[in-house]
Structure 1
Amino acid sequence: MNSTFLPLSYFILGGYLNEGKLTYFYFTITISLYILIVFSNMCVIVVICMNRSLHEPMYLFLCSLFVNELYGSTGLFPLLLIHILSDVHTVSVPLCFLQIFCVYTYGSVEFLNLAVMSYDRYLAICCPLQYNTRMTTHRALVFIFIVWIYSFVKFLITLSLNLRLTLCGNIIDSLYCHNYLVVKLACSDTTVNNIYGLFGIIITIVVPLVPILFSYLRILKVCFSGCRKTRQKALSTCAPHLASLLNFSFGCMFEILRSRFDMSAVPRVVRSMLSLYFLIIQPLLNPVMFGLQMTKIRNACIHVLSCKTLAGHSGNLGI
């Protein structure tokens, strides 16, 4: 460990290995994933924004979700791509804290957004006659605003607490800047950081679990007590949301365990890949799951693509 009490100017990301000939293979795979994530999420965002029939609460929540996927991916991939090709895996302190802010606000917005979406699905399935009055477009926008503002303010406070720490090392055992691993480098008192971090976990994870569990328990009750058609409609509506929620929870849980416990028994490559799971697989799968499962989005995408195809044919024919 690089022991010093002087202000640090950079961190070293210790999660990278010298892969030799495989470097360009990893770079190609990573940049392909990034392009695919940007393209797929942008497509669905444009379709929702352009199609007035999709300007409903459920699709506004989805639009917020897809914007967050782009935000989180942009906080990760540019630096990741640079470090894959680089022999020196250093990052300046300001840039490191900026990445921490982006990655952690992405996680907070993602989980809170999914919690609000579960409540929206509860209202749509369990209270269909009251849905249009209890979940208006204005109320949906207020929910989205609160989710984003809360996440930004919460992690601005986190960063301000980190900046007051005296760090006695600069090696972060990760592929990207990680808040908990930075705090572990401190040789000054971290009591306030730990208390605030615990409080933040409770507010960001435990509190949203209440509406999620409540919503799905009520939805399951409707499924078991309703007719077959009602069950099928409820399951088709909730399936992509539930899959997204479970996928994101698995990724976050592994990353929390990896950063806090000794997992040296797990191969380093596996640890590295799984540490990126919630930052790569979630943005990659969400537009596919929601886009294919939800009829309105699927039809709107087909309509946009068919219009572009027809326009291209007309242009070729000189019409």
Structure 2
Amino acid sequence: MENSSLFFNFNLTMFVNIGSYRYPAFVFCLLLFAMIVSANLVIILVISQQRTLHEPMYFFIVCLSINSLYGSAGFFPRFLMDLLSDTHLISHSACYIQIYVIYTYACNELTILSVMAYDRYVAICQPLHYHTKMTLKTVSKLAAFAWLCSAIFNITLTSLTAKLPLCGNKIHKVFCAMWNISKLSCVRTVINNIVGLLLVGTTVFIVVFYVFYTYIRIILVCRRSSSEFKGKALQSCLPHTVTFLIYSITGFSDVALSRVNIEQLNPYVAVILSLEFVVIPPLLNPVVYGLKLPEIRKHISKMLSW
């Protein structure tokens, strides 16, 4: 058994598969990063500058955009450097920081989407009580709760992972991930697995169950309502539904990828599947909300026409 003290860095081995495509890949990913930053900044600026958009739903959309910028900042700069580098070593401290940022981004996305489901539920199922329930104080508490839960969960999981004695340093991914590091452990990771499954499983189960519950209630209310009401409800819920589905599919793909032998996959397919979780939601979320919500679309059009 190799001594874990021999490994001062982790080696991100999946970059080896890119080879001569590194320069086109760098340009493409740099453009993607620029598009993500630009699109989310536009959403944040439009909502923050327009008083008519100072409502709970739009506040949570801003939270999603801020989270997208946060997650992208934790992934892209290091990733772009690695694309141009001949060596793909990352220190333990930098690796665990990247894990914390990417995993909190993932958890924040999930918790914010669950809070947004509650907002839509109150707006459609209890419209007369909406402004008394969704006050500025309540909205602030919900947003703080979403971010705080993610921080606590990931501090716990990252700390447990960082304490593992390691007998290797090769991570078969383009960024650091807890499961990949756990597989390098010299000892059994029963406690880590149990804590991880309890925290992640409980969080995911509660959020997914609650989102489905709110939408079942919304559908039941819409069935008894007029066609005009149904149209307005669909218009306000559709962006959230699309965003939640995008996040769920990309999140499931990332979890599934971590459980299979990546070396048996086509290297380019493996790289693309590794990237989609940290690229697709931050890129598509502002597009979905910018195109589907008429108030945001109208103000973006005005901004672009100046």
Structure 2 equivalent of residue 131 of structure 1: 130
SS in 1 for 2:166: coil
Structure 1 equivalent of residue 297 of structure 2: 298
CA distance in 2, matches of 1:209, 1:78: 32
Aligned length: 306
- Which has the larger displacement, 284-293 or 227-236? 227-236
The alpha-carbon distance between structure 1 residues 110 and 173, as it changes in their structure 2 partners (threshold 3 A), is same
Residue 18 of structure 1 and its aligned partner are, at CA, apart by 4.9
Structure 2 equivalent of residue 313 of structure 1: none
Structure 2 equivalent of residue 78 of structure 1: 77
- Percent of pairs with identical residues: 37
Indicate yes or no: 2:106 matched with 1:107: yes
CA distance in 2, matches of 1:19, 1:275: 13
SS in 2 for 1:166: coil
Residue identity in the other structure for 1:279: V
Matches within 5 A, 1:135-146: 135-146=134-145
Residue 15 of structure 1 and its aligned partner are, at CA, apart by 1.1
Return 5+ residue gaps in structure 1 as ranges.
310-319
CA distance in 1, matches of 2:202, 2:46: 33
CA distance in 2, matches of 1:33, 1:296: 26
Q: Say if 1:115 and 1:208, in contact at 8 Å, map to a contact too.
A: yes
> Which portions of structure 1, spanning 4 or more consecutive aligned residues, are displaced by more than 4 angstroms?
none
User: Structure 1 length as normaliser, TM-score?
Assistant: 0.92
Residue identity in the other structure for 2:43: V
State which structure, 1 or 2, has the greater radius of gyration over its C-alpha atoms.
Answer: 1
Residue identity in the other structure for 2:10: F
Q: Say if 1:48 and 1:297, in contact at 8 Å, map to a contact too.
A: yes
Q: Say if 2:172 and 2:262, in contact at 8 Å, map to a contact too.
A: no
Residue 189 of structure 1 and its aligned partner are, at CA, apart by 3.6
The alpha-carbon distance between structure 1 residues 104 and 267, as it changes in their structure 2 partners (threshold 3 A), is same
Structure 2 equivalent of residue 216 of structure 1: 215
Structure 2 equivalent of residue 201 of structure 1: 200
Matches within 5 A, 1:166-185: 166-185=165-184
Structure 2 equivalent of residue 317 of structure 1: none
Residue 7 of structure 1 and its aligned partner are, at CA, apart by 5.8
SS in 1 for 2:3: coil
Return 5+ residue gaps in structure 2 as ranges.
none
User: Structure 2 length as normaliser, TM-score?
Assistant: 0.96
Residue identity in the other structure for 1:30: C
Q: CA RMSD in A?
A: 1.5
CA distance in 2, matches of 1:183, 1:204: 21
Structure 1 equivalent of residue 285 of structure 2: 286
SS in 2 for 1:177: coil
SS in 2 for 1:186: coil
